[in-house]
């Protein structure tokens, strides 16, 4: 059983500058920020280290931070350019009963995060969902397709804050 600060120290000594920082401001749990291209390695360490044993990924969630520059377009939607998309990893150890939250941020225009498929298999569909909803590309994911939306949905990524519903999908009217 370790608290997030101890885990942060442990990670910092192991990976140095891959670990970007710890955010203790949030009211509930501290968040450790990690380099998006190294998350798989960090995950593997978290899972296999005997003192940590984070064997379970509770949830992987994509988030549109909406922190870029906003420009109103003609119908009033904020079009966002720049800024980041984030992925949150909530980890849990069924053995040692501690929890930790990781966060990676990736630029909105070219969102690329390394997949943790090889660490926690459960991330398979979660990553597909994050791809489907935010367009975050998970590198090394074996089967990165859309999951909830139709496979041939071309109107973008629905959970981004500047998403606009298309008028038609294959000749069917979308807004009812």
Partner 1 sequence: MKQYLKNTFDGIFTVLVGMKVTFKHLFTPAVTIQYPDVKVKLPDRVRNRLYVNMDDCIGCDQCSRACPVSCIEIETVKSIPGEDLGITSNGKKKALWVTKFNIDIAKCCYCQLCVFPCPTECIYMTDVYEFAEYERSNFLYKFATLTDEEAAQKKINYEKLQAEKAAAAAKPKPETPAQTENKPE
Partner 2 sequence: MALKTETMVLNMGPQHPSTHGVLRLELDIEGELILGVKPHIGYLHRCFEKHAEAMTYPQVIPYTDRLDYLAAMGNNFGYVTTVEKLLGIQIPERVEYIRVIMAELQRIASHLVAIATNGADIGALTPFLYLFRDREYILSLFEMTCGARMLYNYMWIGGLSHDIHPDFVRKTKEFIIHFRPTIVELNNLLTFNKIFIERTANIGILPVDTAINFGASGPVLRGSGLPFDVRKEDPYSIYNRFDFEIPTGKGLVGTVGDCWDRYYVRVLEMEQSLRIIEQAIDKIPEGDVHSAIPKRIKPPKGTVYSRVENPRGELGYFIISDGNLNPFRVKVRAPSFVNLELMGELCKGHLVADVIAILGSLDIVLGEIDR
Written as six digits, the tokens of 146 are 């859309």
Residue 13 or 69: the one with the smaller Cβ distance to partner 2 is 69
Residue 167 as a binder of partner 1 (CB under 8 A): the answer is no
Which residues of the shown chain bind partner 2 in the complex (CB under 8 A)? 25-29, 31, 55-59, 61-64, 66, 88, 90, 94, 97, 101, 120-122, 124-126, 133, 146-150, 158-159, 163
What are the residues facing 139 on neighbouring strands? 114
Q: Residue 84 is encoded by which pair of tokens? A: 């980041």
Whole-angstrom CA distances from 84 to 97, 101, 108, 117, 142 are: 32, 18, 5, 22, 24
DSSP character for 77?
P
Residue 118 has which token pair? 């090889």
Nearer to partner 2, 37 or 96 (CB): 96
Residue 150 binds to partner 1 (criterion: CB under 8 A): no
Judged by CB under 8 A, the residue of 29, 79, 165, 168 near partner 1 is: 165
Cα atoms in the 13 Å half-sphere on the side-chain side of 163: 15
Q: Which is nearer to partner 1, 20 or 159 (CB)?
A: 159
* By the rule CB under 8 A, 175 interacts with partner 1: yes
Residues that bind partner 1 (CB under 8 A): 165, 175-176
């Amino acid at each position: 059983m370790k608290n997030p600060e101890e885990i942060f120290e442990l990670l910092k000594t192991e990976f140095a500058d891959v670990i970007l920082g710890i955010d203790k401001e949030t009211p509930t749990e501290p968040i450790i920020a990690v380099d998006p291209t190294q998350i798989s390695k960090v995950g593997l360490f978290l899972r296999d280290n005997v003192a940590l044993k984070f064997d379970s990924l509770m949830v992987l969630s994509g988030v549109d931070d909406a922190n870029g520059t906003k420009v109103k377009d003609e119908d009033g939607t904020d079009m966002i350019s720049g800024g980041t998309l984030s992925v949150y990893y909530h980890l849990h150890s069924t053995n040692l009963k501690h929890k930790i939250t990781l966060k990676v941020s990736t630029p909105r225009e070219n969102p690329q995060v390394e997949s943790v498929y090889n660490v926690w298999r459960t991330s398979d569909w979660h990553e597909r969902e994050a791809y489907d909803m935010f367009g975050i590309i998970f590198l090394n994911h074996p089967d990165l397709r859309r999951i909830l939306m139709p496979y041939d949905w071309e109107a973008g990524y629905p959970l981004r804050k500047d998403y606009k519903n298309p008028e038609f999908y294959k000749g069917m009217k979308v807004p009812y």
